[in-house]
Amino acid sequence: MPDHVFDEAMRLTRLEGGEQGSTWQGGTHPAYWNMVGPFGGYTAAILMQALMTDPVRQGTPVSLSVTYAAPIREGAYTVQTRLVSATRSTQHWSVQLVQGETVAVNAIALLAQRRPVWGTRDIAMPDVPPAASLPRLELDPKRPAWVQRYAFFPQRGGFDAVARGEPTTDTRTEQWVRDEPPRPLDFAALASICDVFFPRIFLHRGSFVPAGTVALTIHFHADEAALAAVGETPVLAVAKGVNYSGGFFDQEAHIWGADGTLLAASQQMVWYKE
């Protein structure tokens, strides 16, 4: 069986490395291309992939914060993982994606050993019908390549209102999402899914507006068992806009497993042009 296209896109070759991290060689993949560069979720995912593959990696991700510094050109890049601090149960990493002399992506991550302790949740999972009961979004083939890599089952706040040119002040999106074709969820794929929402400003304007994510933070709640429980099934991806001023707006998002487990919470800042 050939590799899933996501696995192809996540392929990294370790050029060198040691106790303090590694240098990885990778390359952009046309299947995850956006309009002028890779889909931002792909970029977050490749950083996570480098971290999870690093021979000195211990624990699973607690947080990943990424800033998108420069356009990523089609072709080769290196990912540099650097372990800057560690305890028995935590690892603090700096990660950069570099093309030539340019640091295109600047990131930090925290990995840790999770412990089976008391837990609870202060927010409720939105009451959304199961993915299987919702029609799958038919994608306009003119939309960017990466969009075709996902199956979307929108309940609310889909792209259709934007496509019809209808502005709305309701910027909440609730949609089931899975890789297309289906693929077992891992931390890289979860990082990518945190960025599958089109820019919230499109909803306000009822149209396309030049916009791009400049900063993305993901707080991971899923452990390996939670990912295994999801497997290849769709996850519920929920986002809403917050504040738009000075050319930047932010978005808060939550990614849920069908069983009600909160897998990740994320927050991003998006540059926009009026």
CB of 89 to a second copy, least distance (A): 9
Give whichever of 134 and 212 is closer to a second copy, judged by the CB atom: 212
Among 75, 100, 116, 135, binds a second copy (CB under 8 A): 116
Among 31, 56, 112, 161, binds a second copy (CB under 8 A): 112
Total chain residues near a second copy (CB under 8 A) = 64
Closest CA to 218 of 18, 11, 40: 40
Closest CA to 193 of 204, 201, 202, 185: 185
Rounded distance, CA 139 to CA 163, Å?
A: 11
* Per-residue contact string for residues 240-259; x = within reach of a second copy by CB under 8 A: xxxxxxxxxxx-x-x-----
Decide if residue 125 touches a second copy (CB under 8 A).
no
Among 157, 217, 230, 237, binds a second copy (CB under 8 A): 217
CB of 213 to a second copy, least distance (A): 11
Decide if residue 223 touches a second copy (CB under 8 A).
yes
Decide if residue 100 touches a second copy (CB under 8 A).
no
Decide if residue 138 touches a second copy (CB under 8 A).
no
Give whichever of 31 and 86 is closer to a second copy, judged by the CB atom: 86
Decide if residue 52 touches a second copy (CB under 8 A).
no
Give whichever of 2 and 116 is closer to a second copy, judged by the CB atom: 116
Rounded distance, CA 127 to CA 129, Å?
A: 7
| Stretch near a second copy under the rule CB under 8 A, chosen from 34-42, 45-53, 99-107, 146-154 | 99-107
Give whichever of 9 and 162 is closer to a second copy, judged by the CB atom: 162
Restricted to residues 161-190, the positions that interact with a second copy (CB under 8 A) are 169, 171
Is residue 194 a contact partner of residue 255, using CB atoms and an 8 Å limit? Answer: yes
Which of 90-112 are b and which e, b meaning 16 or more Cβ less than 10 Å from the residue's Cβ? ebbbebbbbbeeeebbbbbbbbb
Is residue 109 a contact partner of residue 90, using CB atoms and an 8 Å limit? Answer: no
The neighbour count for residue 179, using CB atoms within 10 Å, is 19
Task: Quote the tokens at residue 75.
Answer: 């072709």
Is residue 83 a contact partner of residue 95, using CB atoms and an 8 Å limit? Answer: no
Give whichever of 45 and 72 is closer to a second copy, judged by the CB atom: 72
Give whichever of 45 and 262 is closer to a second copy, judged by the CB atom: 262
Burial of 87 (C-beta count, 10 Å sphere; 0-12/13-18/19+): exposed
Closest CA to 80 of 110, 50, 38: 50
CA 185 to chain centre: 12
Decide if residue 269 touches a second copy (CB under 8 A).
yes
Handedness of CA 70, 103, 266, 142 (dihedral sign): positive
Which residues contact a second copy (rule: CB under 8 A)? 62-63, 65, 67, 69-70, 84-85, 87, 90, 92-94, 96, 102-104, 106-110, 112, 114-123, 169, 171, 200, 204, 214-215, 217, 219, 221, 223, 240-250, 252, 254, 262, 265, 267, 269, 271-274
